[in-house]
Amino acid sequence: MDARRFAINRELRALKSLILLDPDVVFTLDSWATGCAKLALVVTTNRYVPAAQFRAALRRFLRQSEDIARAAGLTPRQHLLLLQIAGSPAGRTTVSELVEKLALTQSAVTELVQRAEQAGLVGRTGSLDDGRVVHLSLTSDGEAKLARAHDALGRERAELRRVIDGLED
């Protein structure tokens, strides 16, 4: 019995490695008993597999981003806010630009910025060109927390990039 179980486990490990090698191929496994265990492998191509894998990887990435943001002392929305500010030209932006980038309402972004400012993550500076414009930038605490979260997500970004590269148009 142990020798047969070992042989089946070896076959399953081989199948698992085949699945990892070609994500566009779906494997289904049937086993039945006719005196001894037999394995049948049916290979089919399924055009939805890459899209499904991408959506699953994206959801895992978003969930991991939320967890890592919290571990760095940020809410998930603060993490997105700080990332968009730091990723803007010259590391500063305005509320109006953030509304577009974050796809949130003006009032939601304003409230998010106010809370981040109260938490010491974001600072405001008036524009030298237009007195009505206020530029937002990260404080040193905001930069440190964003860097911690960003660095911790390196492996997850690489995995998401791998999945994206596997997509077809």
Task: Give 145: exposed, middle or buried? Use CB within 10 Å, 0-12, 13-18, 19+.
Answer: buried
Does the model's pTM come out above 0.85?
no
pLDDT digits (tens, 9 = 90+) for 27-54: 444 443 444 344 444 445 788 888 888 8
* Whether residue 56 sits in one domain with residue 39: no
pLDDT digits (tens, 9 = 90+) for 112-156: 999 999 999 999 988 788 778 889 999 999 999 999 999 999 999
CATH number assigned to the domain comprising residue 88: 1.10.10.10
* Whether residue 14 sits in one domain with residue 78: no
Q: Which domain holds residue 23?
A: 2-45
| pLDDT in the model for residue 4 | 52
* Whether residue 115 sits in one domain with residue 32: no
| pLDDT in the model for residue 120 | 97
Q: Dmax over Cα atoms in the chain, in whole Å?
A: 85
Number of domains in the chain: 2
* Whether residue 161 sits in one domain with residue 95: yes
Whether 164 shows a pLDDT value over 80: the answer reads: yes
